[in-house]
Amino acid sequence: MDKKSDLRMFSLAAAGLLAFSGLTSCGNEAAAPSASSSNEETSAATEADIGTAEKSALSSELVMPESPAAHIKVGLICLHDESSTYDLNFISSLEQARKTLGLTKDQIVVKTNVPEDEECRKVAEDLANDGCNIVFADSFGHETYMLEAAEEYPDVQFCHATGTRAHTENRDNFHNAFASIYEGKYLVGVAAGMKINEMIQSGEITPDQAVMGYIGAYTYAEVISGYTAFYLGAKSVCPSVTMKVTFTGSWYDIDAEKAAADQLIADGCVLISQHADSMGAPTACEEAGVPNVSSNISTKDDCPNTFIVSSRINWTPYYEYMINSVIHGDPLESDWVGSVYTDSVQLTAINTNVAAFGTKDALDEVRGQLKEGSLHIFDTSKFTVDGKTLDTYMADVDTDPDYTPDTEVIKDGYFHESENRSAPYFDLRIDGITLLNEKY
């Protein structure tokens, strides 16, 4: 069974469980009045003849069984808190899954501001001791400590976002999950390119001034994959566009991200995007009147004059799959990846007051191409590296301490991102993108 079918099957299974419960309840309530109304004397005589033990057995049969979901408890470990757009996205998605599956608020425990060190292991073990069947952590650096906790608690399922080791560790209770967010980055890149075209056509800038700025946290493959997809999306509609990228060395640093955006704007960047988690860059753009594509959430309320659109991973489908698997005793995939097809990659509502005319129709068309598989984002005919088109590339998929390349990932004319593991491994530095620093 493929992943798309697997996801649909678990959704159907959850629906079936609810339907079965409802049908059983209705059936018992309907049966008693029918017998009583048709033959009251016979019912009364039969009642008198039933022994105490048999009455007890009959009563037991009429009691509804407790839902399997009643024994589920989920712990969520977040690197930051709700002030981080990244962590807020995980928290909100889990709340949506809770409501959809009918879990109570007591069945969800969220731990925020958990650093990527030994404290993560302690928090994960505390959650397991507190009765959590599932413990989920949201940051790359949590992975080592989640693995250590998984070894100590083999009956608890430990799930981790953005990690790379589950498919090689082969533990029954440790799993990685991610989504093809580069699809979302490509889509919002198209929106950015259309906005720049509008600026060119209005005479606000010339084609050679079509320079975008991008703020990344680290030079991880995840960030490189995302900003490259963003650039290629913009270039697909605005051929003259180039991009400058700067790194802050942190996932969440309001001051550093704002300073980076201010510097990019001073250097002539006419549109800013990011793969970092604070409001620093959107705030700088709003103050300077520079169009912005934010990350994870809509910033329209705070930045109504500059926000265009944002992409995000919708974690709800994975949470539902994860929880349903544990409810039904089914094994979890070691390395799960969602996509636009599974609704795991979403865009926020477009700010039509800022976005170029026709943006929604254009994005709907591109989204359709991604779903049907006619568009490959990292089509090697669409970019070069040092002036050359690539027809082969060995990527580091089975991560080791030396990041040794081990897997051929260019086939059929495109780079096969997130097909050999869920976490991105695209780390090419393509022409048209200039890195201004090298913070890791």
Q: What is the pLDDT of residues 119-128, one digit of tens each?
A: 999 999 999 9
Flag whether the pTM goes above 0.75: yes
State the average pLDDT over residues 214-243.
Answer: 97
Beta-sheet strands, E only, within 78-164: 108-111, 134-137, 157-161
Query: Residue 286 is inside which H or E element, if any?
Result: helix 280-288
Residues 6+ apart with CB under 8 A from 405: 394, 395, 396
Domains and CATH numbers, the chain: 68-180+316-328+331-337 (3.40.50.2300), 181-315+338-435 (3.40.50.2300)
Helix 221-235 vs helix 181-201: crossing angle, to nearest 10 = 40
Q: In percent, how much of the chain has pLDDT > 70?
A: 85
Residues 6+ apart with CB under 8 A from 149: 121, 124, 125, 128, 135, 156, 158
**212 close to 192: Cβ distance less than 8 angstroms:** yes
Q: What is the pLDDT of residues 176-195, one digit of tens each?
A: 999 999 999 999 999 999 99
Tokens linked to 34? 């029918």
Q: What is the pLDDT of residues 39-75, one digit of tens each?
A: 333 333 333 343 444 444 444 445 555 678 999 999 9
Q: What is the pLDDT of residue 317?
A: 98
